[in-house]
Amino acid sequence: MATTMTPAERDAVDAFRRDVAEPSMTKLVILDFWAEWCGPCKTLSPVLEKVAADYADKGVLLAKIDVDKNQFIAAQFQVRSIPTVYAMFQSQLVADLSQARTESQLKQMLDDLLKQLPVQAGDAEPAGPTEEELAPLFDMAEEILASGDGERALSIFDQIGEMVPAHPAVAGGRARALLALDRVDEADFALADLPDETAKSPEVERARAAIAFVREAKPVEDISGLAAHAAANPQDMEARYELAGGQMAANDHDGAADTLLAMIADDKEWNEGAARQRLLKLFEAVGREDPWVSAQRRRLSAILFG
């Protein structure tokens, strides 16, 4: 460290010594250099937190260092980009873990280190909150997201993620909040490299469907004119299909459902069932358990089997 420091820098060094260097004398400490504005950091963070929790009883600790609040510490480690992840043992850097972006990659690197280093095993982290305790928090986040406040919903999902980083509802909720903010690519990236169990969860499947829904739905410049044309020319199924896409893009779920259900009623097999497939994507994006989806499914069943 530098020999001449400001009081703030000295405080930062003291905190680092207390929270990182001293524990590293017996534990393997994962150093996660991150920032609030860094999208990849937020995607990697749940992976690091889950693995650290899984390996806590093997003597692994996670130390998160916000580079904006700890610029002096970040400079000492020559951090030039984030996320940067190191492993420290006995106050020495023993590995660069920055390339490990998946749970399996990180665990493999930690397993290799633990075979070589005399790390003292420790007790696992205390159990996190129960599903019953989390339910009101997720409900609040969903209500805020439904109201259109994507920024606040994202913040709440991030806060929940600090408590239960591997929870599938956190991953799915964050992705849908990013979609609400028109950050489609970030939403897609947020669902990359999830653990298999999380990736296959209904919450993540719903988020993926929402991303596909946004990418497929194309805004229509003159949607009222297109609607008038489709009404006057019901045989023009392409126009009706385009109208449904425009209604989806405008978040007019009722209008899109009405258009697609009418198309299915007129010709179930048109374009290899394209209208039904688009309607099912709409259902997935809204959420299978949503009461609105249940009502529309009853309408679809009446058409298909009535």
Catalytic residue among 13, 20, 31, 41: 41
Q: Which alpha helices (H) appear in the chain, and where do they start and end? A: 7-16, 39-54, 71-76, 103-116, 131-146, 150-163, 168-180, 184-190, 196-199, 202-216, 223-232, 237-249, 253-266, 274-286, 291-305
Cβ neighbours for 227, distance < 8 A, ≥ 6 positions apart? 243
H or E element in which residue 93 lies: strand 92-96
Phi, psi of 63 (to 5 degrees): -120, 115
3-state SS assignment for residue 197: helix
Q: What tokens were used for 295?
A: 């009502």
As a whole number of angstroms, the distance between CA 163 and CA 138 comes to: 12
**End-to-end CA gap in the chain:** 77
As a whole number of angstroms, the distance between CA 90 and CA 119 comes to: 9
Contact between 12 and 69 (Cβ < 8 Å) = no
Catalytic residue among 13, 38, 210, 279: 38
Contact between 166 and 153 (Cβ < 8 Å) = no
Q: How many CA atoms lie within 13 A of 170 on its CB side?
A: 23
Q: Can 41 be counted among the known catalytic residues? A: yes
As a whole number of angstroms, the distance between CA 171 and CA 58 comes to: 27
As a whole number of angstroms, the distance between CA 299 and CA 259 comes to: 12
- Give the residue numbers marked as catalytic: 38, 41
